[in-house]
Structure 1
Amino acid sequence: MDGSRSTVLGRPRGFDTDEALERAMRVFWQQGYEGASLADLTGAMGITKTSMYAAFGNKEQLFRKALERYKEGPAAYATRALEEPTARAVAETLLRGAARTTTLPETFAGCLAVQGALASSDSNRSAHGVLVDWRNGVGLQLEQRFQRAVDEGDLPPDADPKQLARYLLTVAFGIAVQAANGLGHDELQQIVDTTLRTWQP
């Protein structure tokens, strides 16, 4: 009996957790946190609620994991932008990455970090807070990168790193909203071109 029990407890999961998380990320990306029901999530993931809870925790915990996957996958352009050698290149990589990622034909228009919190009741405020923290974190990283650019002489000494970071994020998230409204990749790239023409920190 003990041997049988050990076999059951040690049995591997009957699904690919990586693939299941990818599918959950796509549901949240398309429907937002509040719009994604447990039935939507488990249906897309191909697992039961019991399996979901066992592997990922509750809906909010699953959302946190899905957001991490989004940050490391589709939204990795934001991290790459910070590694560019000049402030202008940071801005261009960030904005072109936003235009590309929000219009990928194999995914959904818009950005998970924006779409995920469009509707948020009081019961879902914690998930909304996760997204706010993530967006603010990106803003802080941009500010620090632009401060470095000022210190290195790449930006003029009177440039305001915080305002530059806020400006770029406003444009980047605006691109995501316009993508969700139906603007295509080429139209969004024109917005990026216009923004870069006025880049005068």
Structure 2
Amino acid sequence: MSERGRPRSFDRDEALRRAMVLFWRNGFQGTSMGDLTEAMGIGSPSLYAAFGSKEALYREAMALYEACDGKELARAVAEAPTARAAIETFLMRSAAMFTRPSKPAGCMIVLAVVHAAGASEALRADLRGVRERAIDSFTERLREAVESGELPAATDTEMIASFYVTVQQGISLRARDGATRAELEAIAQAAMVAWGGLVLEPDDFRRSHKVTPSEI
């Protein structure tokens, strides 16, 4: 008798959540099919039937991470009243989220840059795209701040966005190495000290550093 139409004997959403945690902790290559079937509580045939392949499952796990932790962080950033507050919220919330004892340390998306060994080039390209979107998002937020007069017209929005996203990526890696929330918050606050210099107009920058144009 055909089994077409029979309901699955497992909770797909819960199985996906378990797979996400495993990929988050171990990475794509570091997670075997045996690891997945054990954690998800299903056999290989059910896994392939429900998700298609290991790579397809990984993609769904990344999407789930973005929809949960990623959305939580994005919402906090969006609610910040100023561009500076948005950057500070981004870093401080990251320090808190990346060190929660109930979840793997660090950011799954950031860690994918070092955990995607063994994945296809198409998947690695997609992961790079996710990280680049974070820079694009902050660049747009900073441009809006320039247009509203909150930031000087000469502000290099893309450079600042890249700088702070890079800091956040470093915070993720330090979290994976065992850094505490307090240590990561100190890094975030140190990075915010740079804000004043980054948003200065060119003439203000020269005056504050007491150099001549030829020295820049």
1:53 aligns with 2:75: no
Query: For residue 139 of structure 2, what is the aligned residue in structure 1?
Result: 143
Matched residue of 1:20: which SS? helix
Query: For residue 182 of structure 1, what is the aligned residue in structure 2?
Result: 178
Cα-to-partner distance string for 1:93-148 (whole Å, 9 max, x where unaligned): 21112111211101111221132231544654333222111001111111111111
The 1:160/1:91 distance shift into structure 2, 3 A limit, reads: same
Following superposition, the deviation at residue 194 of structure 1 comes to 1.6
In structure 2, runs of 5+ residues without a counterpart are 200-216
**1:110–1:177 Cα contact (<8 Å) kept:** yes
**Inter-partner Cα distance in structure 2 for 1:163 and 1:74:** 25
1:195 aligns with 2:207: no
Following superposition, the deviation at residue 50 of structure 1 comes to 1.3
Query: For residue 32 of structure 1, what is the aligned residue in structure 2?
Result: 27
**Inter-partner Cα distance in structure 2 for 1:59 and 1:34:** 10
**Inter-partner Cα distance in structure 2 for 1:97 and 1:87:** 15
RMSD: 1.7
**1:139–1:166 Cα contact (<8 Å) kept:** yes
TM normalised by structure 2 equals 0.84
Alignment partner of 2:36 out of 18, 41, 57: 41
- Larger Rg belongs to: 2
Query: For residue 98 of structure 1, what is the aligned residue in structure 2?
Result: 94
* Superposition misfits of 4+ residues, deviation over 4 angstroms: 119-123
**Inter-partner Cα distance in structure 1 for 2:80 and 2:52:** 37
Query: For residue 23 of structure 1, what is the aligned residue in structure 2?
Result: 18
Alignment partner of 1:82 out of 78, 81, 84: 78
Following superposition, the deviation at residue 58 of structure 1 comes to 0.8
In structure 1, runs of 5+ residues without a counterpart are none
Following superposition, the deviation at residue 78 of structure 1 comes to 3.8
**Inter-partner Cα distance in structure 1 for 2:72 and 2:95:** 11
Q: Which moved more, 1:23-32 or 1:128-137?
A: 128-137
**Inter-partner Cα distance in structure 1 for 2:45 and 2:152:** 57
**Inter-partner Cα distance in structure 1 for 2:93 and 2:11:** 29
Cα-to-partner distance string for 1:64-104 (whole Å, 9 max, x where unaligned): 11111111112224422134231011101211121112111
Cα-to-partner distance string for 1:148-201 (whole Å, 9 max, x where unaligned): 111111211111110111011110000001111110111111111222233222
**Inter-partner Cα distance in structure 2 for 1:123 and 1:62:** 12
Alignment partner of 2:162 out of 162, 166, 169: 166
Number of aligned residue pairs: give it.
Answer: 196
Cα-to-partner distance string for 1:29-49 (whole Å, 9 max, x where unaligned): 100111111111121111111
Matched residue of 2:113: which SS? coil
Alignment partner of 1:66 out of 44, 61, 68: 61
Query: For residue 103 of structure 2, what is the aligned residue in structure 1?
Result: 107
**Inter-partner Cα distance in structure 2 for 1:120 and 1:45:** 21
